[in-house]
Structure 1
Amino acid sequence: LKVSARDVPGTLALITATVANAGANINEVHHQRAFTTLAAQNVEIELVIQTRSPQHITEVLEALQQAGLQSQLVH
């Protein structure tokens, strides 16, 4: 998954807690500040997660959206 968010204290904690509360396991986290097209003070966070099914992936994306986070599935 790729999540775009404001680079402020607590954002990474919100993202990881939201994914965990949705029942997914996080295997890797990549926190990218440089070389993005995002505005200043924004960050792209890529997560490699373990889910139960394709439907579970959709549930994780919906949970991130409900938390006010912009996310997308990356292949």
Structure 2
Amino acid sequence: MAAASIVDDAAVFEKSIGKDGKWIISLTKDITIDKDLVVDGDFKNGKKNSETGEELYQRKIALYTQDENKKVTGKFT
């Protein structure tokens, strides 16, 4: 999997959710966007469906930060 897009700006967020973005977009502060957005692209997450064996696709928008122990250290909107 590719590294995360670390985002603190509305324009960067918009670009990050496009088909050329990363599989995970992680915010570092609150941002405001006053228009409809579309998450685009197909991103395999490296896992397979346990029943069918098909590769799984996933995009994640992390509205939080976390420490090395995966404890949430901040939440954003």
Task: Tell me which protein shows more helix as a share of its residues.
Answer: 1
Length-normalised TM-score, structure 2: 0.27
Larger Rg: 2
